[in-house]
Amino acid sequence: MNEDLGRILEQLVNLPRNKQNEMIARLKAEGVGNFFARKPEDVAKDLTGMFLVRVTDDSTTAGQIIDIDAWAEPVNDEKNAHYYTQEPGRIYMYTSRRGEMMAITAHEPGKAGLVRIKEIAVGKSVVTTTKVIPVFELDYTFDKKMINDERLYLAKPTVSLEQAGYSVRRIDPKEKGLWVAEYKLSRR
Domains (range + CATH), the chain: 3-187 (3.10.300.10)
* CB burial string 115-142: b at 16+ within 10 A, e below: bbbbbbbbeeeebebebbbebbebeeeb
Instruction: Report the DSSP beta bridge partners of residue 116.
Output: 69, 103
Residue in 164, 170, 180 with CA at minimum distance from that of residue 70? 180
> What span, in angstroms and rounded, lies between the C-alpha atoms of 74 and 71?
8
Q: What is the chain's mean pLDDT, rounded?
A: 77
Give the percent of the chain with pLDDT over 90: 15
Which amino acid does the sequence have at 106?
A
Per-residue model confidence as pLDDT tens digits over 133-167: 899 999 888 988 888 877 888 888 776 767 777 77
Could you write out the DSSP letters of every residue in 41-62? HHHHHHHTT-EEEEE-SS-EEE
Question: Are 152 and 53 within 8 A, CB to CB?
Answer: yes
First to last CA, the chain: 41
User: What local confidence, expressed as pLDDT, does residue 44 receive?
Assistant: 92
Confidence of residue 6 (pLDDT cuts 50, 70, 90): very low
Confidence of residue 47 (pLDDT cuts 50, 70, 90): very high
Instruction: Report the DSSP beta bridge partners of residue 153.
Output: 53
